[in-house]
A and B are shown apart, each in its own frame.
Chain A
């Protein structure tokens, strides 16, 4: 049984700044956890440390029982952890088909890569009609779909998503969040979702974490957080 992502007393130094201090939480298999908080709360830094882009983290972070700190991103992909960075997670100079193929480059089972690509195209049919177009000809929403589609080709178990809704129209955001919901519910993925758009994120999340200046100030069921008046005032702006 997969033990999920377990973070214990994690501290991340970013240059001279202590970006994250002493936080602990878990993301269980088949669970979607939203991380919300203001700009500069350390949300992106957290994801970058978990995907191996920042090496200066101390404390514990394990995925399925094995430590993931100080491991290169490309190795983590092999272990089923895929991080889609904020605003840039497709390669604009490559075609849609090539971007999708990237997800399968290091997988041995090439027939399953083909299956995974067609599953991604089923999830986001708009991509199927754009296969030979360069990714920089896509709209922001289509790029986000392509990024998620490419991540799925590597058959991940844990997705680390940084602001997938950034700059997108509400209708497109719904579409993307529905897709994430589908991945969690039907494919059994664990998802750690960093979002400024707290309301949309908490609506599909099982649990929510609130980060403030690098500290974890709340960890609870998404439904509870949605009903928390203080929180609504400080982070959701409505």
Chain B
């Protein structure tokens, strides 16, 4: 029984990591930037969702609006900052790292803005879903309707964005623009616009993560920071490029944490995350689903 409970706990926290990993992979796939500001974007979207929920008293009204806000915020960050950075830092050793460092700066900036507006105290973000585990007979499992909702949200985000990338013209344009912007441009793709859509998608996915995860804990300017680390580890384990990989990476990490917590102890769990990452990368350097580097003729 303990084994199954541990597994279920792992799956529900793993789904949370998966969602954050999905958001990171979405920006990576559309722009080739690891977006550390993702956590603060998601938190800001969640605060917006929180405000709407407090006023409308309806979580289901706030959810789509928070997602929409997340998308607009992602698009604005590209439009106001990243686009110019990409233009200025075009070549040389700085070109690849500058945008990533800039996202770290944005992470701090957005968190400070959130702190200025809402303060740094912890807020409770209620949802209509129960956080109490399902009960079978006399046994209550550690898996609640809220957990089920998180797992479903992860599956929906995976299916929607996976479908867009795989089956639509927009998805093809997104992939082309991220892999080889110059060739994509010469093939007729409006790369700047397509990248902007990629930022919007990632912002939306991050907003989903914030809105479904936060009710299981508390809301504060830094409340998703730890999740950013776990999400990043999950994304890297999955190959950074694969949506399915991100989800599997998240689940492996979640279940791994859960078993370590149960059978080893809480003192090593955070360390264990990096340990799992190192083992995965040693065995399979390109992650579970990363692409093999092809031949260069």
Contacts and interface: CB of A to CB of B under 8 A. Distances in A.
A98 B293 CA distance: 18
Nearest to A141: B297
A150 B176 contact: no
B182 A53 contact: yes
Nearest to B175: A94
Contacts of A82: 186-188
Contacts of A134: 294
B179 A105 contact: no
B172 A102 contact: yes
A90 B294 contact: no
Given A74-B190, A74-B191, A102 B182 contact: no
A85 interface: yes
Report the contact-size class of chain A (Cβ under 8 Å from the partner).
35 or more
Interface string B227-253: 000000000000000000000000000
Given A85-B183, A88-B180, A94-B179, A102 B189 contact: yes
Interface in A169-184: none
B185 A73 contact: yes
A136 interface: yes
Contacts of B179: 91-94
A138 B294 CA distance: 9
A89 interface: yes
B57 interface: no
A88 B183 contact: yes
Contacts of B55: none
A89 B295 CA distance: 15
Of B169, B186, B293, which is in contact with the most chain A CB atoms at under 10 Å from its CB? B186
A77 B188 contact: yes
Contact of A84 (B173, B185, B186, B293): B186
Interface in A91-127: 91-94, 98, 101-103, 105-106
Given A105-B169, A139-B297, A93 B183 contact: no
Contacts of B175: 93-94, 98
Contacts of B172: 94, 98, 101-102, 105
B295 A105 contact: no
A87 B156 CA distance: 40
Given A94-B175, A134-B294, A89 B183 contact: yes
B189 A105 contact: yes
Given A91-B176, A93-B175, A94-B176, A103 B294 contact: no
Contacts of B185: 72-74
A165 interface: no
Given A105-B172, A137-B294, A90 B186 contact: no
A45 interface: no
B90 interface: no
Nearest to B185: A73
A11 interface: no
B284 interface: no
A143 interface: yes
B184 interface: yes
A139 B296 CA distance: 9
Contacts of A73: 185-186, 188
A140 interface: yes
Of B175, B176, B180, B297, which is in contact with the most chain A CB atoms at under 10 Å from its CB? B297
B182 A74 contact: no
24 contacts: A73-B188, A74-B191, A78-B188, A82-B188, A85-B183, A91-B176, A91-B180, A92-B179, A92-B180, A93-B180, A93-B291, A94-B172, A94-B179, A98-B172, A98-B175, A98-B176, A102-B173, A102-B184, A105-B172, A105-B187, A137-B294, A137-B295, A139-B297, A140-B297
Interface of B: 169, 172-173, 175-176, 179-180, 182-191, 291, 293-297
Given A88-B183, A94-B175, A154-B188, 13 more contacts: A77-B186, A82-B186, A91-B180, A91-B184, A93-B291, A98-B176, A102-B184, A105-B172, A105-B187, A105-B189, A139-B297, A140-B297, A167-B297
- Nearest 4 interchain pairs by C-beta: A136-B294, A77-B188, A140-B297, A93-B179
